[in-house]
């Protein structure tokens, strides 16, 4: 098959929003405990942070990490996780016993070692305006009040200076503790945002959009919530998880078509509220949960995914530790392309989650940590997508899918880093049968050197379902992509069937 890509130096989507390479740490399963935090692990530092996991987090290149949930936050009292007394509590979201050994101070310390920004969610499920306001005072006020002095007494003299705040989580979801109607939530978000900003005017606030685009109230929810809170918030959230249904790999590989449509629908809704309310500012998008998640494929006694029976009151049980395949990695590459292509409006995005729980990084208690297949497209895109996003004009051969009709076999995004003089291309080939011959027309550049060309595809002896595992940690990974030719303004390359590739040129 064939694809032709045209890039023009002057056709720019916008600056690469570095916060789209975000991730997510929820108190869920083994993401915190035995994930990022395991006192007594051979690699743990004096705070109990696993250094083997930290090394992988740095290599992954996550820029911002959302915390502490997720569904968990809707029943969470942040005070339980600070200070010397850490009560054991039932976490109703995942039917787990939460020890509270890890809390806000530990997360802020961890984020500094990891080199990531904190994105903190407040509980607007079982709690309200005052608890959210108090948390901002505890975290960000310098001192001289009971709350800020409590933070200082608890070991952090300087304010945490957390800029990015989520106003609850998935508040439209019937599974959520304290779920609300759009009017109830819209007003609560408006008032919580107002009170939080009165403590610290520099904060940025994310209102909950729909839990997913399949919710019966999708669209109407965004409209009503923003109708109330437009002036007080900066972003509206999107969440989406995808999986292969009934062996329909063709549609699954095209999932980014749905992601494109979802993003464009939320942009349209936010802009309709803007027009109707005669607002000046735009509301941007925070895609603060996205990934592949086999929600219907995994439900065993040992590792249930169903919320009602998730942890059955154990401490850090195994929950949704999906093992990702070559196919999943290609799909994740296309999600990153979709986020980049919409980087003029999607300013924040968080892959859910960071370690063990539907995650690019896996770890075992007392044992090793390793990279899943989906680690690679994330790590390379986060490292190389710098400068500005370029518009990509793509003419590709197409293939038929049950869900989306005809879809491009080759999916592309591109960035131009003027400072380093480099163009980066991120390419996915959805076809399973033959190579894709890709020609790229670079208008306005004369690229003469290929500085990086790597591909992730089906390994020798494997198939599209091949995954990495504790005893085969490098089965799926990147290898050199041979045969990339760059001459003047023309680049040609071949992509093997079912592959994700990165090509950088100068």
Which ranges of 214-254 does DSSP label H, i.e. alpha helix? 220-229, 249-253
Identity of the residue, 96 or 325, whose beta carbon is nearer to ligand AHR in the bound complex: 96
Per 3-state DSSP, the chain is made up of helix, strand and coil in percentages (nearest 5) of 25, 30, 45
**Parallel, antiparallel, or unpaired for β 346-352 and 284-292?**
parallel
**What is the smallest separation between the CB atom of 352 and ligand AHR, expressed in angstroms?**
4
DSSP state of 158: S
Mention every residue, 6+ apart, whose C-beta is less than 8 A from residue 216. none
State which residue, 26 or 244, has the beta carbon closest to ligand AHR.
26
Q: Using CA atoms, how far apart are residues 151 and 279, in angstroms rounded to an integer? A: 38
Question: Smallest distance from the beta carbon of 71 to ligand AHR, in angstroms?
Answer: 4
Q: Which residue has the tokens 């009165």?
A: 198
Burial 285-321 (b: 16+ CB within 10 A, else e): bbbbbbbbbbeeebeeeeebbebeebbeeeebbbbbb
Cβ proximity to ligand AHR, 170 vs 204, nearer residue: 170
Residues composing the chain: 506
Q: How far apart are CA 23 and CA 372, in angstroms?
A: 15
* Closest distance of CB 172 from ligand AHR, Å: 11
CB of 28 to ligand AHR, least distance (A): 6
* Alpha-carbon distances, residue 218 vs 85, 206, 295, 505 (angstroms): 41, 17, 20, 41
Give the chain's radius of gyration (CA, Å).
22
For ligand AHR, give the closer residue by CB, 241 or 404. 241
Cβ atoms of residues 317 and 93 within 8 Å: no
Nearer to ligand AHR, 169 or 334 (CB): 169
Q: State CA 295 to chain mean position distance.
A: 17
Catalytic residue among 170, 222, 244, 321: 170
Minimum distance, C-beta of residue 74 to ligand AHR, in the bound complex (Å): 9
Q: Which single residue brings its beta carbon nearest to ligand AHR?
A: 70
117 is catalytic: no
Backbone angles phi, psi at 28, to 5 degrees: -150, 130
Cα separation, 425 vs 410, in Å, equals 12
Closest CA to 249 of 101, 458, 396: 458
Minimum distance of ligand AHR from residue 358's CB (angstroms): 6
- Catalytic residue list contains 170: yes
Tell me how crowded residue 77 is: count the other CB atoms within 10 A of its CB.
Answer: 13
Strands 164-167 and 422-429: unpaired
Minimum separation from the CB atom of position 320 to ligand AHR (A): 7
Give the CA count within 13 Å in the CB-facing half-sphere of 214. Answer: 4
Site residues (vs ligand AHR, CB under 6 A):
26, 28, 69-71, 169-170, 289, 352-353
| Of residues 69 and 125, the one with the C-beta less far from ligand AHR | 69
CB-nearer residue toward ligand AHR: 70 or 103: 70
CA-to-CA separations, 124 to 27, 327, 349, in angstroms, rounded: 17, 37, 21
Tell me whether strands 22-24 and 436-443 are parallel, antiparallel or unpaired.
Answer: unpaired
Which residue in the list 222, 244, 289, 504 is annotated as catalytic? 289
CB of 237 to ligand AHR, least distance (A): 10
Cβ distance to ligand AHR smaller for residue 31 or 134:
31
The nearer residue to ligand AHR, 359 or 423, going by C-beta atoms, is: 359
Q: Kindly state the tokens that stand for 151.
A: 């933070």
CB of 31 to ligand AHR, least distance (A): 9
Angle (nearest 5°) at CA 117 between 236 and 290: 45
Residue positions annotated with a catalytic role: 170, 289
């Amino acid at each position: 098959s064939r694809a032709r890509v045209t890039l023009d130096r002057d056709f720019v989507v916008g600056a690469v929003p570095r916060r789209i390479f975000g991730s997510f740490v929820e108190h869920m399963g083994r993401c915190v405990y035995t994930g990022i935090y395991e006192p007594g692990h051979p690699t743990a530092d004096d705070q109990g942070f696993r250094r083997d996991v930290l090394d992988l987090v740095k290599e992954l290149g996550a820029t911002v990490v959302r915390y502490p949930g997720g569904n968990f936050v809707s029943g969470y009292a942040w005070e339980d996780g600070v200070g010397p007394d850490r009560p054991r509590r039932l976490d109703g979201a995942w039917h787990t016993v939460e020890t509270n050994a890890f809390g806000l101070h530990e997360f802020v310390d961890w984020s500094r070692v990891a080199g990531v920004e904190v994105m903190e969610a407040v509980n607007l499920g079982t709690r309200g305006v005052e608890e959210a306001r108090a948390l901002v005072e505890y975290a960000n006020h310098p001192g001289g009040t009971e709350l800020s002095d409590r933070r200082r007494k608890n070991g952090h003299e300087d304010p945490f200076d957390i800029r990015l705040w989520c106003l609850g989580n998935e508040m439209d979801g019937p599974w959520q503790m304290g779920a609300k109607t759009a009017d109830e939530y819209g007003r609560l978000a408006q008032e919580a945002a107002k009170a939080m900003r009165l403590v610290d005017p520099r904060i940025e606030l994310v209102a909950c959009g729909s839990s997913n685009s399949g919710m019966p109230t999708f669209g109407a929810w965004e409209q009503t919530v923003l109708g109330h809170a437009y002036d007080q918030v900066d972003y509206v959230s999107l969440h989406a998880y995808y999986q292969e249904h009934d062996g329909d790999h063709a549609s699954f590989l095209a999932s980014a078509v749905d992601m494109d449509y979802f993003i464009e629908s939320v942009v349209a809704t936010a802009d309709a509220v803007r027009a109707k309310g005669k607002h000046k500012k735009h509301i941007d998008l925070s895609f603060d949960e996205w990934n592949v998640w086999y929600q219907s494929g995994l439900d065993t006694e040992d590792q249930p995914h169903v919320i009602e029976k998730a942890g059955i009151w154990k401490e850090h049980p195994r929950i949704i530790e999906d093992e990702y395949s070559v196919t999943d990695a290609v799909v994740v590459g296309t999600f990153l392309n979709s986020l980049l292509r919409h980087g003029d409006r999607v300013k924040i995005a968080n892959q859910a989650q960071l370690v063990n729980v539907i995650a690019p990084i896996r770890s075992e208690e007392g044992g090793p940590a390793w990279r899943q297949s989906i680690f690679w497209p994330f790590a390379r895109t986060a490292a190389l997508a710098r400068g500005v996003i370029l518009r990509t004009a793509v003419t590709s051969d197409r293939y038929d899918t049950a869900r989306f009709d005809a879809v491009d076999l080759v999916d592309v995004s591109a960035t131009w880093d003027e400072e380093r003089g480099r163009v980066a291309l991120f390419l996915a080939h959805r076809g399973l049968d033959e190579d894709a011959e890709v020609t790229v027309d670079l208008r306005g550049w004369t690229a003469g050197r290929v500085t990086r060309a790597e591909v992730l595809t089906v390994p020798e002896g494997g198939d599209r379902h091949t995954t990495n595992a504790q005893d085969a940690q490098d089965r799926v990974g990147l290898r050199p992509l041979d045969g990339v030719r760059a001459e003047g303004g023309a680049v040609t390359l071949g992509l093997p069937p079912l592959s994700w590739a990165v090509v950088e040129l100068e």
